[in-house]
A and B are shown apart, each in its own frame.
Chain A
Amino acid sequence: MTVETKLALSAQEVRSFSEKNNEPAAFADFRVSALEKAAALELPKPDRTNITKWNFVDFPAHTVESAVYTSLDELPEEVKAVIDTEGQQNLYIQRNNTPAFIKVSEELTNKGVIFTDIQTAIREHADLVEKYFMTTAVKVDEHKLTAYHAALVNGGIFVYVPRNVVIEEPLQVVFVNDDAKASLFNHVLVVAEESSAVTYVETYISTFEQAEGQVNVVTEVIAKDNAHVTFGAVDTLAKGFTAYMNRRGHAMRDAKIDWALGLMNDANTIYDNTTNLIGDNSTSDFKMATVGRGEQKLNFTTTIRQWGKNSDGQILKHGVMKDAAQSIFNGIGHIMHGGTKANAEQESRVLMLSEKARGDANPILLIDEDDVTAGHAASVGRVDPTQLYYLMSRGISKAEAERLVIHGFLAPVVANLPIEGVKKQLTEVIERKVR
């Protein structure tokens, strides 16, 4: 028997939120039905992290009102730093729950590209939203948190790239979080039609120390036949949030979805990254880097499921744990029956900087097909004293030698971020967190 959880909002409140935003009636019904499911469904069960006592439900406010930015000059310095304010042609900035700034080049608009905040998309692109919003990649009823997300979604972005459209310059999204009472139920929906290509980079920035709300983010990347999506992200959300961040890919035939994620939250976070390689020859290259500190609890579960023949799934996870941070790195490569000639590789490495920190690397290969190749490597350890000795023997101080080794260790993700400002920001965040 399942126990109904008391949720923070009633069906009536959800419905009136939907009406206030002028959402289609169908979407209001969708929310209310999701809310009912959220009450009944159980929490997800991330392997090796017990979250039954985490509070994913309560918050000071479902939405907060924030002023829009009338010009980029008004942005906080740390936000300006990640944006090339002159050169960035396609930019969306969300301030807490408010769409605060958007710029889309005429060229993309003319080609039929949609790059708009999720609320506008729900209103103005109801057909596409209905078709793709939690229907293909992530389902509403997977567990309590997906359902709760569907009921309460209050921000995010919709990217739609029509057939054969190749977007050369990266699309940039910045989620600014400068109100400690805010909760982020952001939904990122990226749909890349056949033979299209897009690079998307998002950054989460909290400008304060102690948050009080919830983060429940669901990202769906759908790459149709022969489409290529490169997804970069740097998360730096404040301590105090209870964070569930689900980023999922759905790759059809010959499609490619690559991830470069700098997962630098100070909040306790459950990261669920799954890429489903549905079509033949589909590929995914997943790279993440993280630094845990303080009393943080983190779970990184990365899964690549491979149905397609000749598909290729690559997982690389590098983490640095200091203070009393606790982290679990689950890596799952799953080749389904029929996925002949598939290849699944994964590597998880954790560097421990203190006695009290914990990091468990847990590589899992599930193979339901004979004619495949797969491999995994995992290690948990300290900074290698021989490496430090070598660097120090060239006159480099111990502190600087450690810094070099740690930055080098996290470099695979930094190097793969496609926007210079975001790359620099991640390097600085690493610097700050490991110091």
Chain B
Amino acid sequence: MATLEIKDLHVEIDGKEILKGLNLTINTNEVHAIMGPNGTGKSTLASAIMGHPKYEVTQGEVLIDGENVLDMEVDERAKAGLFLAMQYPSEIPGVTNADFLRSAINARREEGDEISLMKFIRELDKTMDFLEMPEEMSQRYLNEGFSGGEKKRNEILQMMMIKPTFGILDEIDSGLDIDALKVVSKGINQMRGEGFGCLMITHYQRLLNYITPDHVHVMMQGKVVKSGGAELAQRLEAEGYEWIKQELGIENTDAVTEEA
């Protein structure tokens, strides 16, 4: 079992504090969902864990089995087992999806022990088939001209090929139609198991109809303010966030800031 531990995390962007002491522990074989209103720092959490250059961690730790990933470069974090399915994946013209994926897989392997081309192609074909992606997408340039749905599917493809220990999914469901959502969910469910822990960030309860979380957390004002099981998500769906604010005495101060 592996553990991802987020301790007292404080994060600023352009000098403004977004995360204000966030705590969360995720084990492999668990799926966690983070929900919350706009502008409460959900995406900031994902980006800060992965090491986006715009986000500055001012306090706290993110540990994988006790080792602080915040001391690592972005690529080292990935090699330590983290994967972030991004809300807005970059487009890289001139680099084919297949070449990129092979580089990513080989980056984790020793020189001389690179994945054989045949084995790679077999796995890629199988996984693309599973995600109902047309074969030609492997030869298209990475995310270039992909539709929103294709980009999200491509993020899941990468996750399934790279097989990280912890997958963080930043609004993987946004902009997806129901068919695409089903396929993306199928991919994530396929990953579930002993060697994989997952943190899903979402606005919408609908995603959780397809991927049942083990734990649900509510974020407000840069912190996790409430945690529970799958039933918490259902109550949020039915009643919104107002009752939590009242319960915890939170005033409507931050819901107006834009999503960072």
Chain A contacts to B: CB under 8 angstroms: 384-387, 389-398, 400-401, 404-405, 407-412
Q: Judging by beta carbons under 8 Å apart, are B78 and A393 in contact?
A: yes
Give the chain B neighbours of A405 by CB distance below 8 A: 92, 95
B126 proximal to A (CB < 8 A): no
Give the chain A neighbours of B201 by CB distance below 8 A: none
Query: Chain B nearest CB: distance from A380 CB in Å?
Result: 16
B185 proximal to A (CB < 8 A): no
B141 proximal to A (CB < 8 A): yes
A397 to B141, CA, bound (A): 20
Q: Judging by beta carbons under 8 Å apart, are A389 and B104 in contact?
A: no
CB contact between B141 and one of A393, A395, A400, A408 (< 8 Å): that residue:
A408
Query: Chain B nearest CB: distance from A284 CB in Å?
Result: 22
CB contact between B95 and one of A384, A389, A407, A412 (< 8 Å): that residue:
A407
Chain B: which residue is nearest A411 at the CB level? B94
A391 to B51, CA, bound (A): 12
B252 proximal to A (CB < 8 A): no
Interface size class of B (residues with CB under 8 A): 20 to 34
Q: A389-B53, A395-B104, A395-B108 are in contact. Are A410 and B94 (CB under 8 A)?
A: yes
The stretch of B26-34, B83-91, B235-243 in contact with A is B83-91
A390 to B107, CA, bound (A): 14
The 10 A-B residue pairs with the shortest CB-CB distance, nearest first, are A408-B94, A411-B94, A395-B78, A390-B90, A392-B74, A394-B104, A408-B95, A395-B107, A392-B75, A387-B90
Q: When each residue 166-194 of chain B gets 1 if its CB lies under 8 Å from chain A and 0 otherwise, what string results?
A: 00000000000000000000000000000
Give the chain A neighbours of B141 by CB distance below 8 A: 408
Chain A: which residue is nearest B74 at the CB level? A392
Q: A392-B78, A408-B95 are in contact. List 17 more A-B contacts (CB 8 A).
A: A385-B53, A387-B90, A387-B91, A390-B92, A391-B92, A393-B74, A393-B78, A393-B83, A394-B83, A394-B100, A395-B107, A397-B75, A400-B107, A407-B95, A408-B94, A409-B94, A412-B94
Give the chain B neighbours of A389 by CB distance below 8 A: 51-53, 74, 90
Query: Chain A nearest CB: distance from B90 CB in Å?
Result: 4
Contacts of B64-91 to chain A: CB distance below 8 A: 73-75, 77-79, 83-84, 86, 89-91
Give the chain B neighbours of A407 by CB distance below 8 A: 94-95
Name 11 interchain pairs, CB-CB below 8 A, sorted by A: A387-B91, A392-B75, A393-B75, A393-B77, A394-B75, A394-B83, A395-B75, A396-B75, A404-B92, A407-B94, A408-B141
A409 to B141, CA, bound (A): 11
**Which secondary structure dominates chain A's binding surface?**
helix
CB contact between A400 and one of B78, B79, B103 (< 8 Å): that residue:
B103
Give the chain A neighbours of B103 by CB distance below 8 A: 396, 400, 404
B228 proximal to A (CB < 8 A): no
Residue from A386, A394, A405, A410 having most chain B Cβ neighbours under 10 A: A394
CB < 8 Å A-B pair total:
79
Give the chain A neighbours of B108 by CB distance below 8 A: 395
**Which secondary structure dominates chain B's binding surface?**
mixed
Residue from B50, B79, B104, B162 having most chain A Cβ neighbours under 10 A: B104
Chain B contacts to A: CB under 8 angstroms: 50-53, 73-75, 77-79, 83-84, 86, 89-95, 99-100, 103-104, 107-108, 141, 158, 162
Q: Judging by beta carbons under 8 Å apart, are A408 and B92 in contact?
A: yes
Chain A: which residue is nearest B162 at the CB level? A394
A392 to B90, CA, bound (A): 12
Query: Chain A nearest CB: distance from B248 CB in Å?
Result: 34
A278 to B78, CA, bound (A): 56
Query: Chain B nearest CB: distance from A345 CB in Å?
Result: 17
Q: Judging by beta carbons under 8 Å apart, are B73 and A396 in contact?
A: no
Give the chain A neighbours of B83 by CB distance below 8 A: 393-394
Give the chain A neighbours of B94 by CB distance below 8 A: 407-412
Give the chain B neighbours of A396 by CB distance below 8 A: 75, 78, 103-104, 107
Q: Judging by beta carbons under 8 Å apart, are A395 and B92 in contact?
A: no
Query: Chain A nearest CB: distance from B71 CB in Å?
Result: 15
Q: Judging by beta carbons under 8 Å apart, are A390 and B162 in contact?
A: no
A408 to B91, CA, bound (A): 11
Give the chain A neighbours of B51 by CB distance below 8 A: 389, 393
Give the chain B neighbours of A398 by CB distance below 8 A: 73, 75
Query: Chain A nearest CB: distance from B84 CB in Å?
Result: 6
Query: Chain B nearest CB: distance from A164 CB in Å?
Result: 35
Residue from B50, B74, B162 having most chain A Cβ neighbours under 10 A: B74
Give the chain B neighbours of A409 by CB distance below 8 A: 93-94
Q: Judging by beta carbons under 8 Å apart, are B90 and A386 in contact?
A: yes
Chain A: which residue is nearest B88 at the CB level? A386
Query: Chain A nearest CB: distance from B72 CB in Å?
Result: 11
Q: Judging by beta carbons under 8 Å apart, are A394 and B53 in contact?
A: no
A340 to B103, CA, bound (A): 48
A398 to B53, CA, bound (A): 13
A226 to B93, CA, bound (A): 33
Chain A: which residue is nearest B108 at the CB level? A395
A393 to B74, CA, bound (A): 6
Q: Judging by beta carbons under 8 Å apart, are B78 and A404 in contact?
A: no
Give the chain A neighbours of B89 by CB distance below 8 A: 390
Query: Chain B nearest CB: distance from A384 CB in Å?
Result: 7
Query: Chain A nearest CB: distance from B132 CB in Å?
Result: 22
Give the chain B neighbours of A394 by CB distance below 8 A: 75, 78, 83, 100, 104, 107, 158, 162
Chain B: which residue is nearest A318 at the CB level? B94
Query: Chain A nearest CB: distance from B34 CB in Å?
Result: 19
Residue from B73, B99, B100 having most chain A Cβ neighbours under 10 A: B100
Chain A: which residue is nearest B86 at the CB level? A390
Give the chain B neighbours of A412 by CB distance below 8 A: 94
A240 to B39, CA, bound (A): 59
Q: Judging by beta carbons under 8 Å apart, are B84 and A393 in contact?
A: yes
A228 to B162, CA, bound (A): 46
Q: Judging by beta carbons under 8 Å apart, are A404 and B100 in contact?
A: yes
Give the chain B neighbours of A401 by CB distance below 8 A: 75
Chain B: which residue is nearest A349 at the CB level? B93
Query: Chain B nearest CB: distance from A385 CB in Å?
Result: 6
Give the chain B neighbours of A400 by CB distance below 8 A: 103, 107
